[in-house]
Structure 1
């Protein structure tokens, strides 16, 4: 059985790494880490047991540690951040050190959205083509879903800064993100469904938000405020 002191130390190391990366628990989850609830229990030493091997692997992914680092920390050792491997091997390719996130400039987001509109226009003009365009509808649906996620992440970042409890969303933000906020929520992806509701909550649209979800969103927004 894992010693209580070991689990407490493990939680502190995990929390310190997340703070160093300036990530919320939700962002660690989105980067491949464990759920925000599990991560909170680990950091607060309330998990009640040693994390499973699957959770340890997810911590390596979400916290940008080299493979096996979380297990090493649990055993009393120290983690190896991926950036330290990159520094040691500058100029060479190190397996597993590719970044799991990049900054996408606004110009590139706008370019992507422009291509998205053009592709959909071409798709519309090709309806009923003879011979039919195999899999084109499927490709378009996949691309539309991807663009929606990218636009959604950008909207979330902006709305977290301009919206939230006690704030009135600026008219320009309402105009810019109104169509995205008006889109029906998806049922096939629980994570994306919650992201859509979170954006609506940030914009003051809380018709579909129950008390439990409101409390969860408040915690998420407050954590982002503290880390910004």
Structure 2
């Protein structure tokens, strides 16, 4: 995924951090810019307060935000519940679509996301990542085996046979015959 940032009037593409709080801040800032939200608007939407957002950005204490803070952030940014936690683990947020909100009946009860559901999403995503990496490892193991085979052939090809070297060194330079003696 490529995210566009504007600096000094020029467009630059930046890679998102791999995981952790930096990744969450990165996607959070991108979404806030996309929706053109102020910090006060985020709080009005049910999200974290300005102070909490500043603490998350400042990371003075280096602690991961509480689950309740992450869920409020999801709500205020229009992300599926649990998306903030998934982002911190290296995934991408899922947005709530306008059509899904429009089709929901006004009197329909909205069930909150449980901790178990968040854990299930994160563990499923981590499992998928493990399976992908295992496939990468298998591919690398095959490449390493092929390179070892080429290496072994080259070593065998360029290794000097001691008997041949001894036979060569006993040949006199002038006559090309073996020295006797």
More helix by share: 1
Fold shared per TM-score above 0.5: no
Instruction: From the CA coordinates, give the structure whose radius of gyration is larger.
Output: 2
TM-score by length of 2: 0.43
